[in-house]
Structure 1
């Protein structure tokens, strides 16, 4: 069971997500329903450490076991829901982990989400601003990743 809840017109989730970079490109997911890209990752299960959740989610979505390099961002994201979250005021707390590169962009993905079949996409970091991709702060922050953990708060709109 994911750590999260829905109450009245609000939705909350605790998420663990990955930053997977190979050859100047970062891995994003996209499903058959939504018109935007999103980071690889998902809900942390009750009683699960964020580190274990990100490894599990990355494997589920990519079919590849990646190792964690380190925690890079703690992200508080406030947004208005769309799709299955339509009409909800959403609040998500996500831990973003930089994964160790493998030297290959080859994946074995067969992932599905609430939005249907998921596809993995390698997007060039230098051109992230050209894509509707979330979290949007990746476009700036991935060009020069800090040595310290950064706390980022965003108010996103899709």
Structure 2
């Protein structure tokens, strides 16, 4: 005969899956799967990101846990186009429905994370960066959270980007030049970013 401590984890799992299933049936939550995976200490993600420029500043996000700024965007869901993903992510993070101007950069990023849920992981990310159409205002309606932590939006001056710990690191150089086509940029934490 087993004690309650034997059955408790099993019962909690059944309760959790029943609760989640009920919420999904009622449409209160959906289970979208990100295009990415991890295996041992390796992590991969397919990401869509936005380049939003207003009045000489570019928009980045930040939060109380991470000690750096990062681009607006997130994982593409399975079955979702990169264009739809970037529009969804921009709306979720800024509260504003920006329009896409064009695909600007395909970024292959290799790095090792030293904090958070990816600490110690060898990371490989492929990101599609879309230049968004300016709206003529920096006003946002952000109420975004990441991993349970409030995200804040920051308009960083393009001319001073090198003063900030902001990722991707290619952004300042990229924004100071005119571009007509799609750039392919490969970044490696042990090597300088290269344009191909």
TM-score by length of structure 1 reads 0.97
Asked if residue 29 in structure 1 is aligned to residue 67 in structure 2, the reply is no
Match of 1:3 in 2: 35
| Separation (CA, whole Å) in 2 of partners of 1:38 and 1:70 | 20
| Separation (CA, whole Å) in 1 of partners of 2:164 and 2:117 | 22
Per-residue CA deviations over 1:32-86 (Å, capped at 9, x if unaligned) read: 1011000000000000000000000000000000000000000000000131100
Unmatched tracts of structure 1, length 5 or more: none
Asked if residue 89 in structure 1 is aligned to residue 122 in structure 2, the reply is yes
Match of 2:96 in 1: 64
Deviation at 1:151, TM superposition (A): 0.4
Asked if residue 16 in structure 1 is aligned to residue 66 in structure 2, the reply is no
Q: Indicate the SS of the match to 1:14.
A: strand
| Separation (CA, whole Å) in 2 of partners of 1:29 and 1:115 | 15
* Higher RCO (CA < 8 A, seq sep 6+): 1
Per-residue CA deviations over 1:113-153 (Å, capped at 9, x if unaligned) read: 02611000000001000100000000111111411100000
| Separation (CA, whole Å) in 2 of partners of 1:91 and 1:69 | 26
Structure with greater proportional helix content = 2
Match of 1:135 in 2: 168
1:106 to 139, 160, 171: 139
Match of 2:75 in 1: 43
TM-score by length of structure 2 reads 0.78
Query: Which runs of structure 1 show a deviation greater than 4 angstroms over 4 or more consecutive aligned residues?
Result: none
| Separation (CA, whole Å) in 2 of partners of 1:139 and 1:32 | 24
Q: Which has the greater radius of gyration?
A: 2
Asked if residue 53 in structure 1 is aligned to residue 77 in structure 2, the reply is no
